[in-house]
Amino acid sequence: MNHRAALTALLTAEAMNLLDSTIVQVAAPAVHASLPGPVADVQWFSAAYTLPFAALLITGGRLGDLAGRRRVFRLGVTAFLLTSLACALAPAANALIVFRAAQGASAAVIIPQTIGLIRTMFTGPALSRALGAIGPVMGLAAVCGPVLGGVLTEAWTWRSAFLVNVPLSVIVLRLARGLPEDRAPGRPRLDVPGTVLAVLGLGLLVHPLTQPSTPDYRLLAAGAVVLVVFVLHQRRGRAPLVERSLFAGRRFPAALVTSALFFTATSGLTLVVVLHEQLDAGAGVRAAGLTLVPWSAGLGVASWVAGSVLVPRFGDRVMPAGLAVFVAGLVTACLVADHAAFLGALGVIGIGAGLFSPAFFTAALRAVRPVEIGSAAGLLNAVQQLGATLGVALLGGVFFGSGALAAYRIGIALAIGAAAGAAVMAGKRRSRFSGEAGYRVS
């Protein structure tokens, strides 16, 4: 088996999700001009993708347990290819929104399999290096997405922004032939009531957060209630959607909290930086997007170094170190007035994020057994998506209400909270499975 080609397929699939999201955000005004409809359609071109993506991630991870991660991954990429083509050919705004929802559901099937398959293919230092490769790829996708979306939309048409996914999906499917088949041991069943509760609860939480106006707190409260019912059902059900053993110790729950806080901070802050550049500094859309290049470059380089060198040597200690650098960059961004110094601070923030990410995912997945991989991957991705959505809503609202400085301060508080969660994760060096062959990473 060619692990390098297989890893390339998985990383490209991860990048496609981020590319698609950022490209469409840039192309949305042109789409609305071409497919007339209510102004709210502009938000729904993105939200229609985000909602099913966030709500179905846990179920997507479980499907990999049941039917095999390689098979589900390939089916998901095929569906993503077809729905991307449908989006490119959409005759009306309503049709595009429906196709975007189907595209988001396809991505929810793909993404949990990537972490699960990486966890299956690699062990020891190789696992850290594989996870460390995610940072550079995602950093590159984050930079290329807005620029590519603008270039394609201006040079050809907004439809070409969706057509980009077609050749990428074909490449992924070809390389994915080398992926190993992997599924949970035994014959687990799909928890249909749990699936319905998870989709409904996450949908009710994410939907109001994706709206440009003040969130509907009634929906947020209803989502919280449904998720409480979901948790009670998981505790009592015979075939739970989420493996209960993941919550037997402190490590994985702490990983979920850490992930939520960290991605709330990073996603919210990237939005604040772009808004600050456009509204406070008077930069254009493309120039504001390029302001994030130091952040993405720092993240990419630091993630590669952390995964290749630092995590295999220093283990969990890289997590708090990365968060300390992240906070230092945020503090600097709060204090400097010179634009060049501000860009340097963004680079430091990116380095901190890049140091943290490979160490975090390695630690979070260290003790996960084969039967738990689907649940763990789905939960981690769902919490990450929920945190990202919350960050955009929370820090975006703080920016419009109190300015960039207040948003940066909240980002510092969130990062410090993530550091506390990372400390809990790192506090117990040997987990309940660390002594079993094949599961120890460092």
CATH tag, 247-442: 1.20.1250.20
Nearest to 118 by CA among 336, 423, 364, 296: 364
Confidence (pLDDT) at 75 = 95
Q: What angle do CA 392, 396, 401 make, to 5 degrees?
A: 155
Q: Walk along the chain (442 residues) and give the pLDDT tens digit of each residue.
A: 577 888 889 989 988 887 887 777 677 777 888 888 777 677 678 778 878 888 788 888 888 888 888 999 999 999 999 999 999 999 998 999 999 999 999 999 998 888 878 878 887 778 777 877 776 777 667 667 766 776 777 778 888 888 888 999 999 999 988 788 877 666 667 778 888 888 888 888 877 776 656 678 888 899 889 989 988 888 876 667 777 788 877 788 888 899 889 888 888 888 788 778 877 777 766 677 678 888 888 888 888 888 888 988 888 889 889 999 999 999 998 888 888 999 999 999 999 998 998 888 888 877 777 777 777 877 888 888 888 778 877 887 788 788 888 888 888 898 888 888 888 887 654 433 333 333 222 2
Confidence (pLDDT) at 308 = 82
Confidence (pLDDT) at 285 = 60
CA distance 47 to 392: 12
Confidence (pLDDT) at 430 = 41
Q: Check: CB of residue 305 under 8 Å from CB of residue 360.
A: no
Q: Check: CB of residue 319 under 8 Å from CB of residue 359.
A: yes
Confidence (pLDDT) at 433 = 34
CA distance 333 to 319: 21
**CA distances from residue 52 to 99, 134, 207, 360, 432 in whole angstroms, order as listed:** 11, 23, 10, 26, 34
Confidence (pLDDT) at 172 = 93
Using DSSP's 3-state secondary structure scheme, residue 70 falls into helix
User: Which residues have a Cβ under 8 Å from the Cβ of 436 and sit 6 or more positions away?
Assistant: none
Q: How many CB atoms lie within 10 A of CB 66?
A: 16
Confidence (pLDDT) at 141 = 75
Confidence (pLDDT) at 233 = 84
CA distance 203 to 200: 5
Nearest to 173 by CA among 75, 106, 82, 107: 75
Q: Which two tokens stand for residue 421?
A: 């969660």
Distance of alpha carbon 217 from the chain centroid = 24
Measured distance between the N- and C-terminal CA atoms of the chain, rounded to whole angstroms:
24
CA distance 364 to 429: 12
Q: Which CATH superfamily is domain 1-189 in?
A: MFS general substrate transporter like domains (1.20.1250.20)
Nearest to 172 by CA among 19, 26, 296: 19
CA distance 64 to 108: 11
Q: Which two tokens stand for residue 60?
A: 């997507």
Q: Check: CB of residue 108 under 8 Å from CB of residue 50.
A: no
Q: Left, alpha or beta for 243 (phi > 0: left; psi -120 to 50: alpha)?
A: beta
Q: Check: CB of residue 84 under 8 Å from CB of residue 169.
A: yes
